Structure 1
């Protein structure tokens, strides 16, 4: 009897939990009768009564809900890793607590898993939410696909169904400041992607702030791409060539017209441009160095306060 563990990271989702748990349990009737279920809710240091709501859900659905209560907020990706470490299913799925991803899609994902696929991705072909969030999401995934992982599907994704083996491989990596979904693709297992339209959030307010989105973009690019470092080398060589040509121009001009030009403006433009590039280059290199230091410390990705079973 295959067991499915559904991992749900929670952060300020007090009002979502009753709806989310009810819809997930109701979706069980769409699966073959031999499938058993486990719902691993990870409370990512929420400041509201998310933990209380999860405990009430656990009482409403005895034997199905497991709560992993983290000591502090560590981010949704680290919370997902915590959920994977505590899940016991033969296959697993990750879904958001706000029900923007359709749980009924997991049935089709399960069928692909039964056929032997280790990873099934629900990729967003469109979303009901428009505006800056949509622009940022499309830009982010375009950059990742063209600068880092070319084999990821179009449209981005954070709704996945995967085998226990994939979870074990991700946990063995001990990756820091990374993107757990891209790690699954990076492992190299053949996958199937199922397009869907992401729903608009109906309950509560998203805590996915602009600063968190920018950090995710930086983390993902630096974790999976050498383009930033390679760009520094290319631009540096280009600036060196320009400086060489300009130096030759000055030398020739000195012999042809000793009194012209004074060159102050041109010199300052070159100096400011090169200085600005050096600061940007140092910043990029610093990001890589900091991540190396962070990995060398070997601090835990999360601390579990308590597990409620």
Structure 2
């Protein structure tokens, strides 16, 4: 009797200066997934590390044939690094996972369970954000509400990149060639049956986070402009409202002049009107610039990432 070949599960681990996290991560993987009835591929993507992260991975790869590493030529960003992992992963299912152990490897058992039940995407959902600062909780909640209200692609609230995707979801994402990549939206865009699994996100085990407020703000802006044209469309409505109010005010001035005669307009009201309409124009030009800038980047057709070495 021919033995049936086991399915392969690829773990994509994007890393940047995470030399302290490699060993604890591999220890957790070996401990938590030792009973997993799947063949594992541990695919690290080094996103331009300047410490000994690559050396740590190379040493581990010599001791474990499941470990592979894609070394990018420089820092292209986490979205590009995950794209490189997705492009090179050979698994029947793929899971992006953070190396800092805030994505608990033990949850992968639940992911695989639902995948075997027929779900193409099984995503981890944070059960609580009580450990986050109040400002971060508020901004995260607002982002998900605004994004899902304005975009035709809905993303689950409090769900990050940690998820299992079937091969047909991965193949669909590989056919999405955009350079400005918002992976949360791209993961959700193909559709297919999906389900969420709640979990408590632990604190970072070692190392420092690479995210700050400015990076998160730009990340949110990329997500909104990548999956919604509402910021462009809204200015048509704003323009219509302002035109209507201007017309009403014009009739008011004409009627006042007819019945009360000509008076001298005030400097304050004139300057207020000029500053108001000027600011509206600058904001609208800024929104146009965001989309034009993205069109400019897309039109160059530069590669999303460059691979320096694979081992």
Bucket of the pairwise TM-score, normalised by the shorter protein: over 0.9
After TM superposition, the structure 1 = structure 2 runs for residues 1-309 of structure 1, keeping only pairs within 5 Å, are 1-32=6-37, 35-60=38-63, 62-127=64-129, 129-131=131-133, 132-149=135-152, 151-308=154-311
Shift of 1:47: 1.9
Once residues 128 and 64 of structure 1 are traced to their aligned partners in structure 2, the CA distance between those partners, rounded to angstroms, is 36
Once residues 86 and 224 of structure 2 are traced to their aligned partners in structure 1, the CA distance between those partners, rounded to angstroms, is 24
Q: Number of matched residues?
A: 305
Question: Contact 1:30 / 1:104 at 8 angstroms: preserved in 2?
Answer: no
Question: Contact 1:123 / 1:158 at 8 angstroms: preserved in 2?
Answer: no
1:262 partner SS? coil
Once residues 200 and 151 of structure 2 are traced to their aligned partners in structure 1, the CA distance between those partners, rounded to angstroms, is 25
1:126 partner SS? coil
Any idea what the Cα deviations from partners look like across 1:52-87, whole Å, max 9, x if unmatched?
Answer: 121122133x21101010011111111000001111
Question: Contact 2:72 / 2:309 at 8 angstroms: preserved in 1?
Answer: yes
Unaligned runs of 5+ in 2: 1-5
Once residues 218 and 25 of structure 1 are traced to their aligned partners in structure 2, the CA distance between those partners, rounded to angstroms, is 38
Segment drifting more, 120-129 vs 96-105: 120-129
Once residues 154 and 237 of structure 1 are traced to their aligned partners in structure 2, the CA distance between those partners, rounded to angstroms, is 33
Once residues 149 and 11 of structure 1 are traced to their aligned partners in structure 2, the CA distance between those partners, rounded to angstroms, is 33
Shift of 1:187: 1.1
Once residues 76 and 106 of structure 2 are traced to their aligned partners in structure 1, the CA distance between those partners, rounded to angstroms, is 29
Shift of 1:152: 2.3
2:33 partner SS? helix
Unaligned runs of 5+ in 1: none
1:66 partner SS? strand
Shift of 1:128: 5.5
Question: Contact 1:12 / 1:47 at 8 angstroms: preserved in 2?
Answer: yes
1:198 partner SS? coil
The 1:136/1:16 distance shift into structure 2, 3 A limit, reads: farther
CA RMSD of aligned residues (A): 1.5
Shift of 1:259: 3.5
Once residues 51 and 141 of structure 2 are traced to their aligned partners in structure 1, the CA distance between those partners, rounded to angstroms, is 31
TM-score normalised by the chain length of structure 1: 0.94
